[in-house]
């Protein structure tokens, strides 16, 4: 799509702008994009899990760090530290599962 080069001044009451900004944020958009897309016929949909997405990104970084630390401990022959990191990583994985499943612990299926 070509670059947008035309502007339009829009006058709003502070309360109107606050409502637009809040709805745009709930949809994961800037106020300008929200106004433009809504005016062009799009139906805005609030994103339900913005907080969960941020938490999952942070948990992902922590998980990668734990995995790297565990690998390093194993490569240096530190079995005690490697086991502690493996236990921490297991707890981390359980926490990620809980966030992904909306705070409900995931039931574990046993193989028969």
Asked whether the beta carbons of 58 and 99 are under 8 A apart, the reply is no
Structural domain boundaries in the chain: 13-47, 50-100
| Claim: this prediction has a pTM higher than 0.85 | no
Provide the greatest CA pair distance for the chain: 67
Instruction: Please state, in angstroms and rounded to a whole number, the distance separating the CA atoms of residues 100 and 103.
Output: 7
Summarize pLDDT for 36-83 with one digit per residue, the tens.
Answer: 999 999 888 776 666 667 778 888 899 999 999 999 999 999 999 999
């Amino acid at each position: 799509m070509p670059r947008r080069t035309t502007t339009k001044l829009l006058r709003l009451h502070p309360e109107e702008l606050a409502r637009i900004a809040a709805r745009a944020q709930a949809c994961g958009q800037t106020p300008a994009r929200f106004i433009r897309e809504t005016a062009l016929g799009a139906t805005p949909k609030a994103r339900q899990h913005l907080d969960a997405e941020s938490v999952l990104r942070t948990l992902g970084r922590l998980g990668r760090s734990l995995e790297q630390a565990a690998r390093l401990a194993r490569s240096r022959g530190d079995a005690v530290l490697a086991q502690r990191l493996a236990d921490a990583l297991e707890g981390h994985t359980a926490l990620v599962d809980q966030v992904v499943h909306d705070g409900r612990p995931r039931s574990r299926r046993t193989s028969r």
